[in-house]
Structure formats: structure tokens, C-alpha cells
Amino acid sequence: MPQIAMPKLSDSMEQGIVLQWLIADGELVEVGDELVEIETEKATMAYQAEVSGALRIIAGPGTTVAVGEPIAIVGEPLAAVGEPDAPRPPFPKEPPTAAPSNDHGRSSALAATPLARRLASAHGIDIGELSGSGPRGRITKSDVLHAAGRPVEQPPTDRPAAAPAPAEGHGRRQELTRRQQVVARRMAEAKATIPHFQVQTEVVVDSALALRAELKAAAPASAAAPSVNDLIVKAAAVALRRHPLANASYKDDALELHDRVNVGVAVAADDALVVATVFDADAKSIGQIAADTRRLAERVRAGTITPPELSGATFTVSNLGMYGMTAIVPVINPPQAAILGVGAARKVLARDDAGEIVDRSLLTLTLSCDHRILYGADAARFLAEIRDLLETPLRLVL
């Protein structure tokens, strides 16, 4: 009988967690049915059935399974093959929950995101009574927080609980979430295996700030107003097209020069920094980039981002300027050649060409590079290109 294996939902995925089966053990499934919700290190998504038949679950909810290992089998119904009493593979049961009052309550609960279910449980909310605002009526984090009377932007309560306070004089232990563990491992591997170096420059962003103000004023009320970071993403994308080595990866003692310019944008999630991808950023307008980054950031914070939206980046921009940091020296996101760290724009006094003292807005850009791909001169030319584009930003809209 056909086996259903743990799918590889992203380039870096090694294992996944079975969160919830959307079809009960023994029920019939059809090709295209949403079968199971799987959590990876990057996102949670529903996996669709690729074959039809009766479901036999092997890996129950909460089970961690390596990519390629079986999680279920699909075959003929037991009654059809004369095995009404055949034993079913044992698997852990989900914690008991209050029985829904009607079929609508059950279908609503199944249509909720895993984060929404955890939040509902934490706040004592019957998720079957909620109406979803997500795709196809799915209940999201925002729906639960609204029902709980909490601001939507407030961090959720699904972080792992800290250990009880130990004896005086000792610290407390707090376990990492699975996503934090994966990020920690990947960053440690990156620092240990990639020869990093940095180049840094100051950008006079008065013209960029003025252009951003004009774009914001001209944008329709329903459209996302571009931010300074959107201008930086666009400038980086244009420069990447002109400097192909910065848009490359190191693999098997060779360089892979990417045809597409896909810029990853770092977004702060509840428990980690998540990099969402703006595909073909060099070919998009600043307005399109602004719309993409807003949509991706909302999906990251709502827990509805999908693995394809977190994969495929050829370069990353990480901006801590909104927190008032004047500079950041980021760690490369392998297998990319470089990552751009962005600080906050700050006012300084400077002399103009006539020798007069004037106000200037400066912004620090730091480029962390993989020395196997980029040398110092390569990195300097690439970063200078980004600086020049931001100092003459009308070139970005031509």
C-alpha cells in the first residue's frame, strides 16, 4: 500500500512535527484533501493527499519524524478487504478537549492554525465558537487575541514556560523552542564554517527620506506606503543584478551564480528572526516591494507564512533601525554570499560644498560577506553601488 512520507517542505528541512491529522484514522481521503498539519523550523502548513484511499496513521500528533520517513499509509478500506478487526498502528493521542457542541464547532476547530489553538487553550477560549478571518475562514492568532480582549500586536503566550525558580544564587533555565534550536544550530554552523568579513559605509539619506515622503503622500489609501527599508531592498536588488558574485552561493567547491534576484527580509517573529523572501526584487517597483514586505511580515506574525515564502532568497537585508540601533553586524544566512545590516538614520552636523554647517541624515550599512565568494574589493564595489543608489534615489524609480 502507498506510504505517506514526511515531506521536505523547505531546502533546509531535516525533520518535521506532526501537529494534527485533519482526516481521522480509517477515514477515506481523496487526492487534494488537506491531510495533516506539519510544523517545520520555519512555518506550519497543511499537506495535501497525493493518493486516495483509507488512511492508516503511523505517526500521531506531536511526533517528530525525519524527512522521507513514513507517517501514514493509504489503502483500501478495511471492510473492503475483509479485515474489519485488523489492528491499527498505535500513536499518541491528542490531549482531551471539551467536546464541541455541534458539527460547526468541530469544523471551526480543525480550520484553526496551530498557534491559534494554543492561544485559545491558554486563554480558556472555546475555539469552536469563533469565526475565522483567515483564508477559507481559518481562525488565526488575531481572531483569538481579539476574542480574548488583547491587542493583536501583543506577543502571544505560547512561549515555553520557564523552569521554576531555582535555589538562590543560581540562574533559571528556559528551554528553546524548536525554531530557536534550529536557528541557533544554523548560525553556529555558519560562524564555524564560513570565513566572514565585513565592510561598512555611511549613507547620506536626506534625498531618500524626501523621496519616501513623496511616495507616501502619493500612495493610495489602500496601498502600502513604502518605507526606507523598501528603498534599501530595491537598491540592494538593483546592485545585485550588476554584481553577480554578491548574488551567488558557494556549493561543492564551486560558485552558483543565481539567475533570479530574490531578497530575503528579516522579520522579528515571536520566538526567532524569520527571513521572508521578496522574489525578483530587481524587477519590481518600490510600491510592489512595499506591498510584498507588508504582506510577508503580517503572515510571519500571524503564523500563516508558508515554507515557499521563506525559501529561495539569494541575499538578505536585516534592519534594526526601528529599534534605534545605529549599526548591526549580521551573520550570513548560508548559502548566501552576503547579508546587509541596516542601522537607524541619525542627524549629524556636516559642511556642505560651500563650507557651511548643515544638518545631514546618515545611515550605517554593514555588509557581512563569505570570503570564499567575495573578496574585499568585490564587497566594497557592491556596497558602494548600494550607497550611490540611495544617495540618488530617483535612479530607483526609473
Q: Are residues 50 and 139 part of one domain?
A: yes
Give the Å distances, CA to CA, from 91 to 60, 72, 94, 232, 316.
5, 11, 9, 50, 41
Question: What domain range includes position 352?
Answer: 180-396
- Per DSSP, what are the bridge partners of residue 114? none
Choose one of 147, 164, 190: the last residue of a domain: 147
Pairing type for strands 263-268 and 315-319 reads parallel
What is the C-alpha separation between 59 and 72, in angstroms, rounded?
Answer: 7
The enclosing H or E element of 107 equals: helix 103-110
Residue 157: pLDDT band by 50, 70, 90 thresholds?
very low
Q: Is the pLDDT of residue 167 over 60?
A: no
- Per DSSP, what are the bridge partners of residue 294? none
Residue 83 belongs to some domain of the structure = yes
Q: Are residues 119 and 200 part of one domain?
A: no
Reading phi first (left if > 0) and then psi (alpha if -120 to 50, else beta), residue 71 is in alpha
Q: Are residues 356 and 304 part of one domain?
A: yes
Q: CATH number for the domain including 250?
A: 3.30.559.10
> 123, 196, 258, 371: which one is catalytic?
371
Residue 29: pLDDT band by 50, 70, 90 thresholds?
confident
Q: Is the pLDDT of residue 355 over 60?
A: yes
Written as one string, the DSSP assignment of 38-82 is EE-SS-EEEEEPSS-EEEEESS-TT-EEETTSEEEEEES-GGGGT
Question: How many domains is the chain built from?
Answer: 2
Residue 155 belongs to some domain of the structure = no
| Eight-class DSSP state of 134 | S
Is there a contact between 6 and 16 (Cβ–Cβ < 8 Å)?
yes
| pLDDT for res 134 | 65
Lowest mean pLDDT among 221-230, 276-285, 336-345, 378-387: 221-230
Among 238, 146, 178, 163, CA closest to 43: 178
Q: Is 371 a catalytic residue?
A: yes
170-209 per-position pLDDT tens digit = 688 887 776 677 677 777 777 778 899 999 999 999 999 9
Q: Are residues 224 and 104 part of one domain?
A: no
Q: CATH number for the domain including 12?
A: 2.40.50.100
Residue 3: pLDDT band by 50, 70, 90 thresholds?
confident
- Per DSSP, what are the bridge partners of residue 140? none
63-90 per-position pLDDT tens digit = 889 888 999 998 865 444 444 444 544 5
Q: Are residues 186 and 143 part of one domain?
A: no
